Every structure is written in C-alpha cells, then in structure tokens.
C-alpha cells in the first residue's frame, strides 16, 4: 500500500489540474520496487537512436552480418515449419525446450570439448534469458558477482536488476588474470562478502576481444572451486575464431562447477532469440522452473526452424563463411586504426566481433560521443562495460556489421572526432572525468 496516493493525471477536458498538487506524470511512482529506483534514462541511449540511420557508420552494435545468410533457404524453412509442423510450431512447448534441438546443441558443444546429456540443456530466449535465470536463482540483494574488467554490458544490467554488487577483476591478453582473481576473492572473503558467481566470457571477449588461454582455464576453475564460487561461462563467440580451432570450454573441465551459456545469436541469427544453458542437474531443475515461471516455454517456431536449419543446411559451412567475413572486417578495422589513430592503442582480436580501443591520455569516450554522432560515426563508450561507470578512456568498436569499406570510413571519421576532442581537452586543460553515469539498460544496439 502506498502511504501517499498520487492522483492520476488528468488526460483531457474537464478542469485544469489543481495547482495545489503537482504531478510527476506517473501515478505509480511510489509503487515501484526498490531495484527500479536507480534506473535512469541515458542520453547515450538517445544518441544511439541516430546510429541506425544509414548515414551513420555504426561501430557500436554487436549485430551479426546477416546478409551472409542464405535467406531464401531460411524462408523455405520458415514456410515448411508452419505448413508441415504448424500445429506443433505454433503451440506451447516444453519448458526445457525442444528435445531434438537439445540433442543438436550437444553436437555443437562437442566442437568445444563439452560432453553432456540432452537433459542437461535448457533452451532459453537468447542466452540473455539464461543469464537472467541464473542470476535470479542465485543472487540475493547485496551478493557479489565477480566479473572481468571490462564485462559484457548486458550481463551487468542483469546483475544490477537483481541488486548484486559486481567486483571487476583485471584481464590481460590471455584473459582473466588468475592471481588477480585469487586476491579479489580473498579480499571479498576477508570483508565477509558473499560471492556467488564468477561471470566470464572466455572467448573473443565482449568488449575486450581477448580469449582466456588454455593454460589459465583450469587455474581459474580451481580458484573458483576453492572459494565455492560457481563459474558462469558465457560463450556466444567461441566458434567464431579466425585462425584457429575452438578452445575447449571451461565446462569441458568440470560438470559441477560451471554453468555454460550458449547462443545461436552470433553464429546464426539473433532474430530467432534462441540460446541455451547447460547446468549441473540440480541447478538445471531450478532453471527450468524459473524459466517456466518467466516465459512458460521458449518459442517452438524458432526452435523448430533452427533445428530444421541444423539438420538440413551446412551450418558448419555457414560458420566458416561468417569467420572469413569477420576476419576481413577485423583486418579492415585494424589497418584503419593503424592508419588513422596511431596515438590510440587497441588489441587485435583473433575472433568475435570487437576490438577494445584505449584513447590517447585525457580523453573521455562518453563525453566525445555527441561529437562522434555529429560526425556520423557511433561506438560504445567504455563506461558501459564497468559496473561503476569507470572505463571512460576506452571505447568498444564492432567490426561485425559494416562492410570493410564502411569500417575504414568509420575509423577515419572517428579519428577526426578524437583529434577535435584532444584539441578541446588541451585547450581547457581538462581530462577524462571520474566515473560517468552508469548505463543501466544496454538496449539491443550494444548487446
């Protein structure tokens, strides 16, 4: 019950609103849950409204290059799914997900060394929902999630929604640094904090572009196990390496200490919204129950379409073709950065969608964004990838979607923006600000 009912806003006609009571334009303001209070509308999201216009080179979004897909074949599949299996495809289905698809998912995961049973798999609405479910069943307000610094903005949003605290652990070119993980967990334990999850994107990290070395994987796992922390391995990009075979997943080393999240969004198409989670059996049971209470069941139509695609199309060939396209784009981005932005630094990702750029000293990627939008180029400021809004000296550039030519043009524009910002900062003697506003909801553009 609200202690102070707020009168609903008058909508039309009648008498002028009384001046005695103001309105906050939301009669439910006092009803929101505690976790809703910190949500803010950010001008960053508003600026992204422009990023989808064709005039703008968007190096912001993590959108796969769907023009590389056989759309005619997928159209036939969609037609066939409804015409021949419509009564199943358009009906409610299993809360855990289509059994055939779950078996096919096992084939995919074998490429990364994972042996599992179809019963271990829960199909979800994108792996984002899996992340939500895992957080929901484990996190009480104030619990700590340990995550890489930086970390996927969409995961930070979920952790925030469940009122977790996030402790970031540094990464280097070989991914999460085990020694830093150990010391972070030790000091959290000493401070009496409850750490529930270690969230990691081990392959072609979003946003940092790096992968955890094979040597570090068992060490990270061992440390987590010692501190009683469940590892959440988020792996949407693992099959998108440019030069090498996929590394064995952390889950391949341990069935009980790892929850593995997989997705068709980056290796196939995000519009189907199909992902999955593989979890130890007791955890899986709870995930199924939580998923049923959230969505009843994942989309049957999407699952059957993907299952049909996997059984009738050369999906390995498709992934190979994606890898080649993304490699070409990566090369275009890296060479453009070298040409136009030599005073910045970046990593050369061996797969995935992103490179992580460090700006010249004193520049703030978030402050610079309006200028970038004016120059018709978009990126995601580094602040989006830190729980506390730090990271302003970095930005994430995606090379997955624009053509190589557009990528070069985008980087050229970005270089002009950086030069302008540099001049301004030198002029006024300011430098990158402290923690910026936290990005509360990522929006699909930055996923």
The answer to the question of residue 393 lying near another protein (CB under 8 A) is: no
Residue 197, beta-bridge partner list: 145, 230
The C-alpha atoms of residue 99 and residue 341 are separated, in whole angstroms, by 50
C-alpha to C-alpha distances, 255 to 127, 132, 249, 252, 280, nearest whole angstrom = 19, 21, 11, 7, 6
Among 3, 12, 33, 191, binds another protein (CB under 8 A): 12
Q: Residue 325 class from Cβ within 10 Å (0-12 exposed, 13-18 middle, 19+ buried)?
A: middle
**Residue 146 CB, nearest approach to another protein (Å):** 29
Q: What angle do CA 360, 365, 367 make, to 5 degrees?
A: 120
Among 1, 3, 5, 14, binds another protein (CB under 8 A): 14
Q: Which two tokens stand for residue 437?
A: 């506003």
The answer to the question of residue 76 lying near another protein (CB under 8 A) is: no
Letters for 38-67 (x = contact with another protein by CB under 8 A, - = none) are -xxxxx-xxx-xx--xxxx-----------
The answer to the question of residue 2 lying near another protein (CB under 8 A) is: no
With beta carbons less than 8 A apart as the criterion, state whether 353 and 206 touch.
yes
The answer to the question of residue 198 lying near another protein (CB under 8 A) is: no
Pick between residue 190 and residue 427 the one whose CB is nearest to another protein.
Answer: 427
The answer to the question of residue 10 lying near another protein (CB under 8 A) is: yes
The answer to the question of residue 434 lying near another protein (CB under 8 A) is: no
The answer to the question of residue 371 lying near another protein (CB under 8 A) is: yes
User: Residue 210: CA atoms inside 13 Å, Cβ hemisphere, count?
Assistant: 21
Letters for 268-307 (x = contact with another protein by CB under 8 A, - = none) are ----------------------------------------
Q: What angle do CA 165, 354, 437 make, to 5 degrees?
A: 40
**Residue 271 CB, nearest approach to another protein (Å):** 22
Count of beta carbons in the 10 Å neighbourhood of residue 39: 13
* Beta-carbon contacts of residue 362 (< 8 Å; ≥ 6 apart): 422, 425, 426, 430, 431, 432
The answer to the question of residue 193 lying near another protein (CB under 8 A) is: no
Pick between residue 41 and residue 244 the one whose CB is nearest to another protein.
Answer: 41
The C-alpha atoms of residue 144 and residue 155 are separated, in whole angstroms, by 13
The answer to the question of residue 13 lying near another protein (CB under 8 A) is: yes
**Residue 165 CB, nearest approach to another protein (Å):** 23
The answer to the question of residue 427 lying near another protein (CB under 8 A) is: yes
C-alpha to C-alpha distances, 431 to 42, 276, 415, nearest whole angstrom = 22, 43, 18
Q: Alpha-carbon Rg of the chain, whole angstroms? A: 23
With beta carbons less than 8 A apart as the criterion, state whether 123 and 104 touch.
no
**Residue 389 CB, nearest approach to another protein (Å):** 14
The answer to the question of residue 112 lying near another protein (CB under 8 A) is: no
**Residue 160 CB, nearest approach to another protein (Å):** 16
Among 8, 38, 342, 433, binds another protein (CB under 8 A): 433
Pick between residue 55 and residue 72 the one whose CB is nearest to another protein.
Answer: 55
Name the site residues for another protein (rule: CB under 8 A). Answer: 9-17, 19, 22-26, 29, 39-43, 45-47, 49-50, 53-56, 367-371, 373-374, 376, 421, 423-425, 427-430, 433
């Amino acid at each position: 019950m609200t202690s102070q009912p707020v009168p609903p806003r008058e909508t039309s006609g009648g008498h002028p609103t009384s001046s005695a009571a103001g309105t906050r334009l939301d009669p439910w303001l006092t009803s929101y849950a505690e976790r809703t209070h910190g949500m803010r509308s950010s001008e960053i999201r508003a600026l992204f409204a422009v990023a989808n216009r064709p005039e703008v080179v968007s190096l912001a979004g993590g959108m796969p290059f769907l023009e590389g897909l056989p759309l005619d074949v997928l159209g036939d599949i969609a037609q066939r799914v409804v015409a021949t299996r419509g009564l199943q495809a358009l009906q409610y289905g299993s809360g855990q997900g289509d059994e055939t698809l779950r078996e096919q998912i096992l084939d995919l995961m074998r490429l990364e060394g994972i042996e599992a049973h179809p019963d271990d798999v829960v199909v979800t609405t994108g792996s984002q929902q899996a992340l939500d479910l895992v957080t929901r069943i484990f996190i009480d307000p104030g619990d700590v999630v340990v995550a890489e610094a930086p970390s996927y903005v969409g995961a930070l949003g979920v952790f925030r929604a469940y009122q977790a605290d996030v402790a970031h652990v540094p990464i280097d070119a070989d991914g999460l640094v085990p020694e830093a993980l150990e010391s972070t967990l030790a000091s959290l334990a000493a401070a009496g904090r409850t750490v529930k999850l270690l969230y990691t994107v081990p392959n072609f990290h979003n946003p940092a572009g790096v992968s955890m070395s094979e040597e570090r994987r068992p060490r990270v796992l061992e440390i987590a196990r010692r501190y009683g922390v469940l590892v959440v391995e988020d792996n949407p990009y693992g099959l998108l390496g440019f030069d090498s075979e996929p590394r064995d997943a952390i889950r391949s080393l341990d069935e009980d200490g790892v929850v593995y999240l997989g997705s068709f969004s980056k290796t196939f198409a995000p519009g189907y919204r199909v992902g999955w989670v593989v979890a130890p059996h007791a955890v899986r049971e709870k995930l199924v129950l939580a998923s049923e209470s959230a969505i009843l069941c994942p989309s049957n139509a999407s699952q059957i379409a993907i299952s049909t695609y996997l059984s009738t199309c050369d999906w390995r060939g498709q992934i190979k073709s994606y890898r080649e396209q993304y490699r070409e784009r990566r090369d275009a981005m890296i060479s453009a950065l070298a040409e136009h932005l030599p005073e910045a630094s970046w990593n050369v990702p061996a797969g995935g969608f992103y490179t992580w750029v460090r700006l010249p000293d004193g520049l703030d990627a978030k402050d610079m964004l309006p200028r970038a939008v004016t120059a018709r180029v978009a990126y995601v400021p580094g602040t989006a990838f830190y729980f506390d809004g730090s990271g302003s000296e970095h930005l994430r550039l995606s090379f997955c979607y624009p053509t190589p030519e557009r990528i070069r043009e985008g980087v050229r524009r970005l270089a002009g923006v950086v030069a302008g910002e540099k001049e301004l900062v030198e002029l006024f003697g300011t430098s990158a600000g402290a923690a910026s506003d936290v990005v509360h909801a990522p929006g699909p553009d930055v996923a």
